Homo-oligomer: A and B are copies of this chain.
Amino acid sequence: MTLRLAKPFTITATAIALCLGGAASAQDMSDYTVMFEALPAMPPIPSGTTMSTERIDLGRMLFFEPRISASGVISCATCHNPALGWTDRIPRATGHDGQVGDRNTPTVLNSGFLGAQFWDGREPDLEGQALGPIQAEIEMNMTLVEAIDRLNEFEVYRDAFSAAFPGDPDPVNPPNVALAIAAFERTLNTPNSPFDRFLMGDEMAMTEQQQNGMRLFVDNGCVACHNGPILSDSNFHRFELPGSTDEGRFLVTGDEHDRFAFRTPTLRNVAVTYPYFNNGSVADLRDAVNLMGQQMLGHDFEENELDDLVAFLDTLTGEMPHIEVPALP
């Protein structure tokens, strides 16, 4: 295509894009973009649950509620910190009395798209996940009976549960806590990343280097596991992480095939959800990509390939949810 300078007003949008951005044409990249999916506005909503406003509002309150922890100061938002990509950006989760767990805190962002929760996939959905950290002795360290008793002390909570679960005669109960938190979490998605805009046709949303990183990501097979709307197959893969003795999925299934296997993490917002891997031992994204190449692909990336892959991964950072901290009773 050439610019027809004699008739400047007929210059097409594509031509202008070529002039301004220097980006490759959509045609060049179509073999690659077809391998990905833009983020839907909302994750799948499990049968029997609802994303009603009342339930989301209650879930937000519960997410920020530290009084369902034994210390009274730890809430979901402590480790899934909105200021830190809805994770904690430390290697391993730190909870009750400063105890440090075995694994890195996964981000809540876009977690409704995952087909398995926790690093070992021991729960299938967010409802199953939500009550775990409340009860874990090294996290919030509170029994569900105590948690429900505390919530029941507040008229505001009794009313909010009634509104979120109309018709339930005794709505302040653990399953409803899980349903409300999960409904809120399904709103914590990160649309409008450069990657999504590129997939939707905005050729200027990704630089040449980032597009090259996308090609490398596909051509080298990263996309085999990191696929779908959040670049995770929600499946389990064995991985030898230097220094880690965590047996991963094996602890759930007892299946030898699952020893050292972990669920593929989402790559959405990967640039702002460091450090990486099940024990958070790798702080730098470039190092993480390098290790993945060696471990999963049996391949040492060139320096410039690592640069391009990291540049591509940077495009996966989307718009953070605009959440105002609720005023609790």
A: residues with CB less than 8 A from B are 64-67, 71-73, 75, 78-79, 81-85, 88-90, 94, 96-98, 272, 320, 322-328
Complex contacts, A272 vs chain B, CB 8 Å: 327
Query: In the complex, are the beta carbons of B84 and A78 less than 8 A apart?
Result: no
A82 to B83, CA, bound (A): 13
Chain B min CB distance to A99 (Å): 8
Query: In the complex, are the beta carbons of B73 and A326 less than 8 A apart?
Result: no
Query: In the complex, are the beta carbons of A73 and B88 less than 8 A apart?
Result: yes
Query: In the complex, are the beta carbons of A67 and B82 less than 8 A apart?
Result: no
The 9 closest A-B pairs by CB, nearest first: A97-B98, A82-B325, A72-B90, A64-B83, A83-B328, A73-B94, A83-B325, A320-B327, A71-B94
Q: Which of B82, B90, B320, B327 contacts A73 (CB 8 A)?
A: B90
Query: In the complex, are the beta carbons of B325 and A323 less than 8 A apart?
Result: yes
Q: Which of B72, B83, B89, B323 contacts A72 (CB 8 A)?
A: B89
**Copies of this chain, count:** 2
Known: A65-B83, A71-B94, A73-B81. 18 other contacts (CB 8 A): A66-B83, A66-B88, A67-B89, A72-B94, A73-B78, A73-B88, A75-B83, A82-B325, A82-B327, A83-B326, A83-B327, A84-B328, A96-B98, A97-B97, A97-B98, A98-B98, A322-B324, A325-B325
A88 to B73, CA, bound (A): 7
Q: Which of B81, B97, B327 contacts A66 (CB 8 A)?
A: B81
Complex contacts, A85 vs chain B, CB 8 Å: 327
Give the residue name and chain of the B residue nearest to A91 (CB): B72
A84 to B65, CA, bound (A): 9
A37 to B83, CA, bound (A): 36
Complex contacts, A64 vs chain B, CB 8 Å: 83
Complex contacts, A81 vs chain B, CB 8 Å: 66, 73
A105 to B156, CA, bound (A): 23
Subset of 11 A-B contacts with CB under 8 Å: A72-B88, A75-B83, A83-B325, A83-B326, A84-B328, A85-B327, A97-B97, A272-B327, A323-B325, A324-B324, A325-B325
A66 to B77, CA, bound (A): 12
Candidate in A84, A324, A328 with the most chain B CB atoms within 10 angstroms: A84
Chain B min CB distance to A78 (Å): 6
Give the residue name and chain of the B residue nearest to A81 (CB): B66
Chain B min CB distance to A57 (Å): 13
Candidate in A65, A97, A322 with the most chain B CB atoms within 10 angstroms: A97
Chain B min CB distance to A1 (Å): 39
A327 to B66, CA, bound (A): 21
Complex contacts, A94 vs chain B, CB 8 Å: 71-73
Query: In the complex, are the beta carbons of A79 and B73 less than 8 A apart?
Result: yes
Give the residue name and chain of the B residue nearest to A61 (CB): B83
A325 to B66, CA, bound (A): 17
Give the residue name and chain of the B residue nearest to A71 (CB): B94
Candidate in A71, A85, A272, A322 with the most chain B CB atoms within 10 angstroms: A71
